[in-house]
């Protein structure tokens, strides 16, 4: 979470830390899962109010400027422009009604009814902005949320440096929102995976898939992190957010709301369906064929209702077992993938080798059909509260090497699969959580994959023992269709120091014998000294 883009440290890190520390001090005994919505809802309210008030200030300057097309000669006319809803929504700014703006709440922060005032503000903003209907939290009047807590949070998020940074064009509130998501994920432990995928993993998927333009889809989108990182990727490579269209789905209602807020806070227009829904049983985008799919589905879920979908047309490679949804996710996404699209999916390692309940046969058919392109074994401890080892699956229906619509070059890769063993990469950010370094780790994996695909701007791909290997479908078949990278990449070659092996063995043997002799001599000296001590008593 502490890296904004490849090789660029987050400039607002000190501010983020300070805000988190201040906000967390106000949590008292409230559970992190509940407090999350309190804090993130207020951050969102601060964001929309800041944007609104900044636009209003700009309009006030324009209507008073005689050289401006907005110039109005009378005060009544000026006020009419300042309160014209269309002047805000046309610029992508949410309309915030008078009396419900952050400045109004800040003035009332010490009042005993501040909880009711916040709820009323959320209601008013939803009423005026249909895209937010049913999204914002409206439970601030709860008894356990004291006026002191809410007033303290309002003061915390009213820092002048936060507003100034936002208005300078920096996405600081977006960064703060994402930083807080990560901190809550760390606090919530095993429940964190329902709404948050570590940024380093999302960044890796974006760098591998390179979603320059087209339709990006995540059928289990959590809080929307895949879309945010896809947008970062596009903008960091000279594009704009309009180059991609975002589609998602989420079954958890509170997480769906988090995603809507997370995307709105960055101005990302996304189609997450009209409501939260289960991807398997209530597909919100049945006709979508995406150019890129980036997803981190829940691992190994056994209650996905597969017994009611045995004849579903999505199961091209075989009906997934009701007791595990891993291969249901893979096939659901392949069904939504365009003929030339690519998808990257995070799955538990068991999916690479399991043969029970027909899963081995599904995997075999996928390999034989040449849709499996790359498998990356990931380091442990990347996910908050989840120690289960995971891998990335990269799949495509087209290995022909045709140039993509964004102009990317490829080489024909028929019948080939790339395996990358990245289990030893990364660094321990703290005692329990591992992270990937953007330059050393993310870049190495992503560049290896894209060099293998034939990117002309990268050095030619070569197998690296212990790290990566390109193998044929026949080799995978010979290995029983197991997809664990460790089976194929071998071991890292030891550095050749130029000393012949037989001479090295003889030298090391002599050194060991000399060590034994020195130990024996030292032991004799110690025993003699002890005997002298005993004799002198």
CB 287 within 8 A of CB 336: no
Residue 310 class from Cβ within 10 Å (0-12 exposed, 13-18 middle, 19+ buried)? exposed
pLDDT of 13 strictly over 70: no
pLDDT of 3 strictly over 50: no
Mean pLDDT confidence for 384-403: 86
472 vs 133, residue with greater confidence: 472
Q: Which two tokens stand for residue 104?
A: 């109004």
The pLDDT value recorded for residue 144 is: 85
The pLDDT value recorded for residue 497 is: 52
pLDDT of 443 strictly over 90: yes
The SS3 assignment for 20 reads helix
The pLDDT value recorded for residue 154 is: 94
Q: How far is CA 345 from CA 329, 441, 451, 480, in A?
A: 9, 18, 20, 22
Buried b (16+ CB within 10 A) or exposed e, 230-241: bbbbbeeeebeb
Share of the chain above pLDDT 70, in %: 90
Where residue 437 falls among pLDDT bands split at 50, 70, 90? Answer: very high
The pLDDT value recorded for residue 148 is: 92
pLDDT of 198 strictly over 90: no
pLDDT of 165 strictly over 70: no
Q: Which two tokens stand for residue 304?
A: 């996905």
pLDDT of 166 strictly over 90: no
The pLDDT value recorded for residue 432 is: 77
Mean pLDDT confidence for 320-348: 96
Where residue 164 falls among pLDDT bands split at 50, 70, 90? Answer: low
CA atoms within 13 A of residue 1's CA, in its CB half-sphere = 27
pLDDT of 373 strictly over 70: yes
CB 468 within 8 A of CB 419: yes
- DSSP state letter for 495: P
Q: CA-CA distance, 196 to 226, in Å (whole number)?
A: 10
Min mean pLDDT across 290-299, 359-368, 501-510, 518-527 is at 501-510
Q: Which two tokens stand for residue 433?
A: 């959580």
Q: CA-CA distance, 32 to 332, in Å (whole number)?
A: 33
Mean pLDDT confidence for 177-201: 73
493 vs 432, residue with greater confidence: 432
β-strand 337-348 against 372-377: which pairing, if any? unpaired
265 vs 243, residue with greater confidence: 243
Min mean pLDDT across 124-128, 148-152, 262-266, 455-459 is at 262-266
Residue 460 class from Cβ within 10 Å (0-12 exposed, 13-18 middle, 19+ buried)? exposed
Share of the chain above pLDDT 90, in %: 54
The pLDDT value recorded for residue 502 is: 67
Q: Considering the chain, what is the average pLDDT of its residues?
A: 87
Q: Which two tokens stand for residue 98?
A: 């008078």
Mean pLDDT confidence for 18-34: 85
Residues 6+ apart with CB under 8 A from 146: none
**Predicted TM-score (pTM) of this structure:** 0.80
The pLDDT value recorded for residue 186 is: 76
Q: How far is CA 457 from CA 21, 449, 460, in A?
A: 44, 13, 9
Highest average pLDDT, of 28-42, 110-124, 255-269, 392-406, comes from 110-124
Min mean pLDDT across 163-177, 284-298, 416-430 is at 163-177
Min mean pLDDT across 152-166, 431-445, 460-474 is at 152-166
Mean pLDDT confidence for 377-403: 87
The pLDDT value recorded for residue 183 is: 82
pLDDT of 452 strictly over 60: yes
pLDDT of 120 strictly over 50: yes
Highest average pLDDT, of 39-43, 179-183, 527-531, comes from 39-43
Highest average pLDDT, of 17-21, 199-203, 373-377, 410-414, comes from 373-377
The pLDDT value recorded for residue 6 is: 38
Where residue 209 falls among pLDDT bands split at 50, 70, 90? Answer: very high
pLDDT of 535 strictly over 80: no
């Amino acid at each position: 979470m502490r890296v904004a883009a490849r090789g660029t440290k987050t400039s607002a890190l000190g501010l983020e830390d300070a805000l988190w520390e201040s906000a967390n001090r106000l949590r008292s005994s409230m559970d992190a899962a509940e407090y999350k919505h309190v804090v993130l809802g207020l951050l969102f309210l601060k964001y929309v109010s800041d944007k609104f008030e900044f636009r209003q200030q700009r309009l006030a300057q324009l209507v008073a400027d005689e050289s401006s097309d907005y110039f109005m000669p009378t005060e009544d006319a000026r006020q009419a422009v300042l309160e014209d809803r269309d002047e805000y929504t046309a610029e992508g700014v949410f309309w915030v009604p008078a009396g419900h703006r952050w400045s109004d709440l800040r003035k009332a922060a010490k009042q005993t009814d501040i909880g009711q005032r916040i709820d009323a503000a959320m209601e008013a903003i939803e009423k005026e902005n249909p895209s937010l209907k049913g999204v914002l939290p409206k439970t601030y009047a709860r008894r356990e949320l004291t006026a002191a807590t809410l007033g303290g949070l309002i003061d915390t998020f009213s820092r002048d440096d936060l507003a100034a940074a936002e208005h300078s064009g920096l996405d600081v509130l977006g960064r703060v929102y994402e930083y807080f998501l990560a901190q809550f994920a760390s606090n919530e432990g095993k429940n964190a995976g329902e709404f948050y995928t570590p940024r380093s993993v999302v960044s890796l998927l974006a760098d591998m898939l390179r979603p320059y333009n087209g339709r990006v889809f995540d059928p289990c989108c959590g809080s929307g992190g895949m879309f945010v990182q896809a947008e970062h990727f596009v903008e960091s490579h000279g594009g704009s957010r309009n180059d991609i269209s975002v589609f998602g789905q989420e079954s958890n209602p509170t997480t769906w709301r988090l995603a809507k807020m997370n995307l709105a806070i960055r101005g990302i227009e996304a189609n997450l369906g009209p409501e939260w829904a289960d991807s398997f049983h209530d597909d919100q985008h049945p006709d979508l064929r995406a150019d890129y799919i980036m997803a981190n589905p829940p691992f190994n879920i056994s209650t996905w209702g597969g017994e009611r979908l045995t004849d579903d047309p999505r199961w091209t490679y075989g009906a997934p077992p009701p007791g595990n949804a891993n291969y249901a996710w893979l096939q659901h996404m392949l069904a939504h993938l365009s003929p030339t699209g690519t998808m990257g999916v995070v799955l538990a390692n068991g999916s690479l080798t399991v043969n029970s309940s027909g899963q081995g046969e599904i995997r075999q058919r996928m390999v034989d059909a040449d849709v499996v392109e790359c498998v990356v074994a990931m380091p442990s401890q990347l996910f908050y509260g989840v120690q289960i080892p995971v891998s990335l699956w990269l799949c495509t229906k087209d290995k022909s090497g045709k140039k993509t619509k964004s102009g990317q070059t490829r080489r024909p890769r028929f019948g080939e699969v790339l395996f990358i063993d990245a289990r030893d990469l990364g660094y321990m950010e703290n005692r329990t959580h591992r992270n990937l370094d953007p330059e050393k780790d993310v870049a190495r994996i992503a560049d290896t994959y894209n060099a293998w695909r034939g990117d002309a701007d990268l050095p030619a791909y070569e197998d690296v023992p212990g790290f990566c290997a390109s193998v044929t479908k026949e080799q995978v078949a010979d290995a029983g269709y197991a997809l664990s990278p460790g089976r194929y990449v071998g071991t890292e070659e030891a550095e050749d120091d130029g000393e012949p092996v037989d001479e090295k063995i003889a030298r090391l043997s002599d050194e060991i014998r000399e060590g034994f002799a020195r130990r024996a001599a030292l032991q004799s000296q110690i025993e003699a000294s002890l005997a002298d001590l005993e004799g002198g008593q």
